[in-house]
Homo-oligomer: A and B are copies of this chain.
């Protein structure tokens, strides 16, 4: 489904007259990145001239302001391009807020009082699932033990899984090599892309299972907490397989196809059908329950109302938030609170460009302040494009994310200056060099398959957020 990936980011840098800087981004896969940049500029016009300290004093009110523009709402509301752009702008202010306080974003938020947390949360349209009062009670219950969890995760890292072994198109030798490498890196959760051909999926999946279920392939001294894999269809060595269809099926097709993949004993099928279809996901989950296969979705669930329905209809075993798809941190807080109330573990979507760096912040908030648990959760890990970031994410020797601790990392979306100079579209050196080389071929810029090569980063700069004479510059 997501073929021709040309990993890209619509990127905004916000400045204040006092010298503060905040950065935010939305991830895209190529064509269309410029549409999001265009929308970011339109939204950002509304914040130029505002006072940053007043924004920080009530981030909930700021988010309400961002999504309340009636004319922009018509283009959504709260979905698609306008919401992706809202996410970038909102995330830039959260990044600025964290940097202003000298804390990583996760730490800024876990240090909130329960009242401050609730005030920052987007509750509109989800109060039939969770009220601010319920949220407050839930957060207060976790408050006394926050410090212990913070220390625990800093020491151990946050559990991760790898998607790198099972992309469509990898030959069997490559799948085998990557799976063994991932085992050696400490991973025990593996994800396989499926949906193109059931027989081929079965063969590739059984190949992975044969490797991860073989005790001879386990790293020496490995210990797996049984509680961390309970109910996940784990094999004899404690390894877990997940499969991901990226929305290729209708509901009846999903049920039929997954019946064929039962021998793989997957924990869940991810994105079996259209991401908007909570009713469809509920039907698939119900049909697959006798096969002990769960359902996961969320990377394309476009706002908190979609997550609300997935939870209300018992449609998912795992909630896969994304840092850029919904409208930023405020909306994520609402989704974390709902998931905790409904008892559904959050396992964020990552990969692409910048997502791993961002979601570790979000899941730390979940563990330390909201759900209070992490050992059954797993955070997606793809070791790709991190070299372009100032504060790159990393995993430890046990295959767990390290906790970002740098005082000025903010939301960890600072691209290196060199990356911006190279990849900004269309004036970056990558693009100008490429354009020269391709001049004869008369192809559109960035139109086809730069899969695996660094995609383009569009930058928009907003100057003078604190100043009355500010103006929006797009470049």
Contacts and interface: CB of A to CB of B under 8 A. Distances in A.
Interface of A: 1-6, 28-32, 34-36, 38-39, 42, 45, 69-84, 124-128, 247, 250-253, 273-280, 283, 300, 302-303, 305-306, 308-309, 312-313, 444
Nearest to A309: B279
A74 B35 CA distance: 12
Contacts of A29: 70-71, 74
Contacts of A31: 42, 69, 71-72
A36 B75 contact: yes
Contacts of A81: 35, 39, 75, 80-82
Given A35-B38, A125-B280, A273-B125, A28 B76 contact: no
Contact of A306 (B34, B128, B276, B444): B276
A273 B253 CA distance: 32
Q: Specify how many copies of this chain sit in the oligomer.
A: 2
Per DSSP, are chain A's interface residues mostly helix, strand or loop, or mixed?
loop
A252 B127 contact: yes
The winner among A35, A45, A280, A302 for most chain B CB atoms within 10 A is A35
Contact of A127 (B6, B251, B300): B251
Nearest to A84: B75
Contacts of A75: 28, 32, 35-36, 80-81, 84
Contact of A128 (B34, B250, B275): B250
Nearest to A39: B35
Contact of A70 (B2, B275, B313): B2
A82 B80 contact: yes
A72 B31 CA distance: 6
Contacts of A283: 128
8 contacts: A4-B70, A6-B71, A32-B71, A35-B35, A75-B81, A78-B276, A127-B250, A276-B302
A276 B303 contact: yes
B35 A82 contact: yes
Given A125-B251, A126-B250, 5 more contacts: A31-B72, A32-B72, A39-B81, A80-B83, A127-B250
Contacts of A30: 71, 74
A429 to B, nearest CB: 23
Contacts of A275: 77
A39 B34 CA distance: 9
A70 B1 contact: yes
A279 B277 contact: no
A73 B84 CA distance: 13
A28 B70 contact: no
A277 B306 CA distance: 7
Contacts of A5: 70-71
B35 A128 contact: no
Nearest to A27: B74
